C-alpha cells in the first residue's frame, strides 16, 4: 500500500451548477450552551457526549469542554457522559441558556492485588483476554469528522465531513462521504493541506501491526507483549453499571521511536476494551509523505485516543481523537530549506446506529484523497444549513468564521483562479456542467491504453466518464434534491487528435448527458420524500444514460459524421439553447 501524500502546497476551471428546492424551514426549537469540567480539578472535559433524550440526538463538547445543544422544548432532558466519570442528567428552564456541568469521577476501588504481590502477569492476561474476545460484529452509524491544522498557532486549515461509518468490532472499516467542506488560509506564501487524514485514521489498527504506525501491545501476542512492553495498573474504578474498570499503563521496555506508549481501559467484567491512548514522539513510522520529492518530513509526533461503546450487545469502535505534529522541511527559494511545525487535530466519531444518511449517488475514481472527494461533490448549502447533528462548536462559531473569511480558499473556490493561484488549487478538478466548453489537456495517468464500452465499441483512443450526481436531504418539513452532471477528470482522457471536430464531439457528449439529467430532475420532483422511488428512478436514469451514450458513440464516428452530428446538435439546441456546430464549425476544417 502506498503512503499518503500530506500537506504542502506552494502558491502557484471548475464549472459549478446546482439545482435544489426548499419547502419549509425548521421552527420551534431552542438552543442552550454549556461547559463541561471535572468536579475536582475544574479542568475542561473535551469530547464528552451530550444527548437530548427527547430526540436521541446530540453533540460533543469541544477541546475546551464547550457545547451547544438544540431542544424541542424546555421539558427536554440531556445525558452527559465521558468514560471515567459518572453520567450527568441535565434539565432545562427557559430562563437559563448557559450551564456549567461538573462531572464526578467514577468510584475508585482499592487494588487488593497489588497489596499482596508485585507480579503484574494478570495485566497481560487482561489485555490478551480482551483481545481474544474482540467482537467481529459489524455496525453502521452516522459519523462526524473535523480537522484543524495550525502553523505557529495560526489556523491554516479546516475540514468538516459527515459520513456513514462502517465498523467491525474495534476497527473502523469504511467511511462513506455524505457531505464535506474545507477551507485553507495561506501561511506566508504557502498553503498546508492534510489531504488524506481520514485514510490515515483508517490505517491505524488495534490488532494488526503495519508499517504506518508504531507498535502497540495489542499488535502482539502475549509472549511478545511481555518482551516489548512494561504494564502497570494506574487505577481501578467501578462504573455506573457496577463493572470494574482497569486503567493500565503501557511503556516500551527499551526506548524506541517505533513503539507507542499509553493506556488501555478494560472492562474486566465484560473483557472489553473501552478506551486506548497512543503516544509516540518524533517517530519515522507514520503514514505521511511530503507532497514534493525535494521536501522532507523530519519526524512526526503522534497522540491518539480511541474509545469504544457497546452496541447491540458487543463493543465497537466509536471515536478517535487523532493529533499529529509534523516537522516539515521545505526546499523552497532556490534550495534554501525552511522548517515548519504543522500541528493537526482531527476527531471522528459515530453517533447514531439507528438512522443512516442518504449517501449521494456518485461513484468516485479509485484512491481519491479527502480533498478530491469533497471537490467532486457539489456544495450542499441546504445540508449545512439544516443538519445540526453532533457538530463541534464554540462560542465564537469559529468554523463558520473560518469558512467565510475573505482570505480563505474553500471547496467552492478550489478549482477557480484566485488572488494566490492563477489556475486554482488543483491542476485538474471535477467539472460540473454549464455552458462553458470543455477543453481536454494531457491524458490522465489513470487511463488504460484500450477499452471497450458496454456495447463492445472500441474506445481505446478516448474515455469520457460523465456521471449524474444525486443527493437527497429531508429535515422535518424541509426537503432538498440536488442533481448535477459531472465529468470525472481521473477516468476521462482523449488520445485521438484534438481539433474542432473532437472538441465538438466531446462537448456534445457532455451536453447530451446534461439533457438526460434535466429530464430526470423534472421527473423526480414528485418524489422528494420517497427514497425508494428516487432510487428506482435513478436506476432508470442510468439505463437511459447508457443507452443514449451508446447510440451517440455508434452514430457519429467520433464526431466525423456530419449528418448525425447535426441531428444530436439540434437536440442540444432545442433543450439547452446553444449550438456546438456554430461554436466549433467542425466541418469547415479538415481533420489533422
- pLDDT tens digit string along 167-207? 999 999 999 999 999 999 988 878 888 888 888 898 999 99
Q: Is residue 157 predicted with pLDDT exceeding 90?
A: yes
Look at residue 82 and tell me if it is in a domain.
Answer: no
Residues 398 and 491 in one domain: no
440 pLDDT band, cuts 50/70/90, is: confident
Residues 499 and 382 in one domain: no
Of 590, 560, 583, give the one whose Cα is nearest residue 507. Answer: 583
Read off the pLDDT of residues 490-532 as tens digits, 9 standing for 90 and up: 899 998 888 999 999 999 999 999 999 999 999 998 887 899 9
Look at residue 503 and tell me if it is in a domain.
Answer: yes
- Please name the residue ranges forming H helices in 34-177: 112-116, 121-132
Of 453, 471, 470, 456, give the one whose Cα is nearest residue 509. Answer: 453
Look at residue 60 and tell me if it is in a domain.
Answer: no
DSSP annotation of 345 reads E
Cell of 150: 495550525
Residues 521 and 383 in one domain: no
Looking at the 3D structure of the chain, how many domains does it have?
2
* pLDDT at residue 423 in the model: 60
Q: Is residue 362 predicted with pLDDT exceeding 60?
A: yes
For residues 380 and 173, what is the distance between their CA atoms, to the nearest angstrom? 26
116 pLDDT band, cuts 50/70/90, is: very low
Look at residue 308 and tell me if it is in a domain.
Answer: yes
Q: Which of 41-55, 329-343, 451-465 has the highest mean pLDDT?
A: 41-55
Residues 250 and 163 in one domain: yes
For residues 488 and 376, what is the distance between their CA atoms, to the nearest angstrom? 8
Q: Specify the DSSP element, H or E, that contains 479.
A: strand 478-487
Look at residue 526 and tell me if it is in a domain.
Answer: yes
Residues 472 and 578 in one domain: yes
Look at residue 348 and tell me if it is in a domain.
Answer: yes
Q: In what order do the strands lie in the sheet with 431-432?
A: 431-432, 478-487, 466-475
425 pLDDT band, cuts 50/70/90, is: low
* pLDDT at residue 446 in the model: 42
Read off the pLDDT of residues 84-110 as tens digits, 9 standing for 90 and up: 999 999 999 999 999 999 999 998 875
What range does the domain containing 394 cover?
Answer: 136-409
| CA angle at 462 for the pair 458 and 465, rounded to the nearest 5° | 105
Domain final residue pick, 357, 376, 409? 409
Compute φ and ψ for 512, nearest 5 degrees.
Answer: -65, -35
Are 188 and 154 in contact, with CB atoms under 8 Å apart?
A: no
Read off the pLDDT of residues 303-342 as tens digits, 9 standing for 90 and up: 999 999 999 999 999 999 999 999 988 876 545 678 889 9
Q: Is residue 266 predicted with pLDDT exceeding 70?
A: yes
Sequence length of the chain is 592
* pLDDT at residue 584 in the model: 94
Average pLDDT over residues 77-84: 95
3-state SS, residue 513: helix
Are 546 and 554 in contact, with CB atoms under 8 Å apart?
A: no
* pLDDT at residue 422 in the model: 62
For residues 366 and 448, what is the distance between their CA atoms, to the nearest angstrom? 14
Q: Which residue has the higher pLDDT, 192 or 559?
A: 559
Name every residue whose Cβ is closer than 8 Å to that of residue 317 and which is 6 or more positions away in sequence.
167, 169, 170, 171, 172, 306, 308, 350
DSSP annotation of 90 reads E
Residues 194 and 320 in one domain: yes
- Please name the residue ranges forming H helices in 163-277: 197-203, 222-228
3-state SS, residue 115: helix
Q: Is residue 115 predicted with pLDDT exceeding 70?
A: no
Domain final residue pick, 377, 409, 441? 409
- Please name the residue ranges forming H helices in 39-158: 112-116, 121-132
143 pLDDT band, cuts 50/70/90, is: very high
Cell of 238: 467501578
Are 180 and 377 in contact, with CB atoms under 8 Å apart?
A: yes
* pLDDT at residue 5 in the model: 34
Residues 261 and 354 in one domain: yes
Q: Which of 159-163, 211-215, 225-229, 474-478 has the lowest mean pLDDT?
A: 474-478
Cell of 14: 471548475
Residues 401 and 444 in one domain: no
Q: What is the 3-state secondary structure (H, E, C) of 23-57?
A: CCCCCCCEEEEEEEEECCCCCECCCCEEEECCCCE
- Residue whose C-alpha cell is 437530548: 52
Residues 183 and 326 in one domain: yes
Residues 386 and 492 in one domain: no
Average pLDDT over residues 289-302: 86
Average pLDDT over residues 124-134: 97
Look at residue 351 and tell me if it is in a domain.
Answer: yes
Domain final residue pick, 380, 409, 438? 409
Percentage of residues of the chain with pLDDT beyond 70: 87
* pLDDT at residue 240 in the model: 87
Bridge partners of 233, per DSSP, are 248
Of 340, 210, 341, give the one whose Cα is nearest residue 285. Answer: 210
Bridge partners of 172, per DSSP, are 167
Q: Is residue 391 predicted with pLDDT exceeding 80?
A: yes
- What's the mean per-residue pLDDT of the chain? 86
Name every residue whose Cβ is closer than 8 Å to that of residue 150 and which is 6 or more positions away in sequence.
156, 342, 343, 344, 345
Residues 453 and 382 in one domain: no
For residues 507 and 270, what is the distance between their CA atoms, to the nearest angstrom? 62
Look at residue 338 and tell me if it is in a domain.
Answer: yes
- Residue whose C-alpha cell is 525552511: 338
Average pLDDT over residues 451-463: 58
Angstrom distances, CA of residue 542 to CA of 70, 199, 359, 455, 545 = 40, 30, 17, 15, 5
Strands (E), 241-313: 244-252, 262-267, 272-283, 288-289, 296-311
For residues 270 and 444, what is the distance between their CA atoms, to the nearest angstrom? 53
DSSP annotation of 359 reads -
3-state SS, residue 565: helix
Residues 210 and 285 in one domain: yes
**For 128, left (φ over 0), alpha (ψ -120 to 50), or beta?**
alpha
* pLDDT at residue 28 in the model: 52
Q: How many CB atoms lie within 10 A of CB 479?
A: 19
Q: Is residue 69 predicted with pLDDT exceeding 80?
A: yes
449 pLDDT band, cuts 50/70/90, is: very low
Cell of 388: 445540526
DSSP annotation of 315 reads E
Amino acid at each position: 500500500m502506498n503512503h499518503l501524500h500530506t500537506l504542502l502546497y506552494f502558491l502557484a476551471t471548475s464549472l459549478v451548477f446546482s439545482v435544489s428546492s426548499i419547502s419549509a424551514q425548521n421552527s420551534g426549537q431552542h438552543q442552550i450552551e454549556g461547559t463541561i469540567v471535572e468536579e475536582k480539578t475544574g479542568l475542561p472535559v473535551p469530547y464528552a457526549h451530550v444527548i437530548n433524550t427527547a430526540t436521541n440526538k446530540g453533540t460533543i463538547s469541544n477541546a475546551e469542554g464547550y457545547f451547544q445543544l438544540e431542544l424541542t422544548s424546555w421539558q427536554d432532558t440531556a445525558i452527559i457522559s465521558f468514560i471515567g466519570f459518572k453520567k450527568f442528567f441535565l434539565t432545562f428552564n427557559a430562563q437559563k441558556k448557559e450551564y456549567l456541568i461538573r462531572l464526578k469521577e467514577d468510584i475508585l476501588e482499592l487494588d487488593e492485588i497489588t497489596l499482596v504481590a508485585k507480579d503484574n502477569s494478570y495485566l497481560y492476561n487482561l489485555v490478551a483476554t480482551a483481545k481474544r474476545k474482540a467482537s467481529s460484529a459489524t455496525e453502521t452509524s452516522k459519523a462526524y469528522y473535523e480537522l484543524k491544522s495550525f502553523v505557529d498557532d495560526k489556523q491554516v486549515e479546516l475540514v468538516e465531513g459527515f459520513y456513514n461509518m462502517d465498523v467491525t468490532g474495534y476497527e473502523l472499516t469504511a467511511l462513506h462521504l455524505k457531505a464535506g467542506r474545507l477551507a485553507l488560509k495561506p501561511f506566508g506564501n504557502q498553503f498546508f493541506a492534510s489531504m488524506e487524514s481520514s485514510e490515515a485514521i483508517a490505517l491505524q489498527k488495534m490488532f494488526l501491526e503495519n508499517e504506518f504506525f508504531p507498535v502497540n501491545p495489542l499488535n502482539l501476542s502475549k509472549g511478545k507483549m511481555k518482551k516489548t512492553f512494561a504494564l502497570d495498573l494506574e487505577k481501578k474504578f467501578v462504573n455506573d453499571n457496577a463493572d470494574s474498570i482497569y486503567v493500565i499503563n503501557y511503556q516500551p521496555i527499551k526506548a524506541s521511536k517505533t513503539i507507542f506508549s499509553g493506556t488501555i481501559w478494560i472492562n474486566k467484567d465484560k473483557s472489553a476494551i473501552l478506551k486506548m491512548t497512543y503516544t509516540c514522539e518524533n517517530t519515522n513510522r507514520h503514514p505521511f509523505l511530503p507532497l514534493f520529492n525535494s521536501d522532507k518530513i523530519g519526524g512526526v509526533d503522534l497522540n491518539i485516543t480511541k474509545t469504544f461503546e457497546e452496541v447491540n450487545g458487543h463493543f465497537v469502535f466509536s471515536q478517535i481523537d487523532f493529533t499529529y505534529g509534523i516537522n516539515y522541511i521545505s526546499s523552497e527559494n532556490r534550495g534554501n530549506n525552511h522548517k515548519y511545525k504543522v500541528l493537526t487535530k482531527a476527531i471522528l466519531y459515530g453517533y447514531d446506529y439507528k438512522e443512516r444518511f442518504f449517501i449521494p449517488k456518485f461513484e468516485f475514481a479509485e484512491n481519491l484523497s479527502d480533498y478530491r472527494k469533497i471537490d467532486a461533490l457539489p456544495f450542499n448549502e441546504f445540508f449545512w444549513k439544516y443538519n445540526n447533528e453532533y457538530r463541534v462548536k464554540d462560542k465564537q462559531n469559529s468554523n463558520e468564521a473560518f469558512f467565510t473569511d475573505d482570505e480563505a480558499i474553500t471547496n467552492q473556490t478550489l478549482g477557480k483562479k484566485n488572488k494566490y493561484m492563477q489556475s486554482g488549487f488543483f491542476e485538474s478538478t471535477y467539472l460540473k456542467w454549464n455552458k462553458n466548453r470543455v477543453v481536454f489537456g494531457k491524458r490522465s495517468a489513470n487511463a488504460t491504453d484500450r477499452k471497450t464500452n458496454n456495447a463492445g465499441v472500441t474506445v481505446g483512443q478516448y474515455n469520457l466518464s460523465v456521471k449524474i450526481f444525486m443527493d437527497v436531504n429531508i429535515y422535518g418539513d424541509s426537503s432538498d434534491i440536488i442533481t448535477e452532471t459531472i465529468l470525472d477528470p481521473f477516468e476521462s482522457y482523449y488520445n485521438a487528435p484534438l481539433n474542432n471536430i473532437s472538441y465538438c464531439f466531446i462537448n456534445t457528449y457532455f451536453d447530451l448527458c446534461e439533457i438526460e439529467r434535466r429530464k430526470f430532475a423534472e421527473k423526480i420532483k414528485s418524489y422528494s420524500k420517497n427514497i425508494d422511488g428516487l432510487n428506482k428512478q435513478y436506476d432508470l436514469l442510468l439505463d437511459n444514460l447508457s443507452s443514449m451514450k451508446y447510440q451517440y458513440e455508434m452514430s457519429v464516428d467520433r464526431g466525423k459524421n456530419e449528418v448525425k452530428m447535426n441531428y444530436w446538435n439540434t437536440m442540444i439546441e432545442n433543450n439547452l439553447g446553444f449550438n456546438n456546430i456554430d461554436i466549433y464549425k467542425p466541418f469547415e476544417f479538415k481533420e489533422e
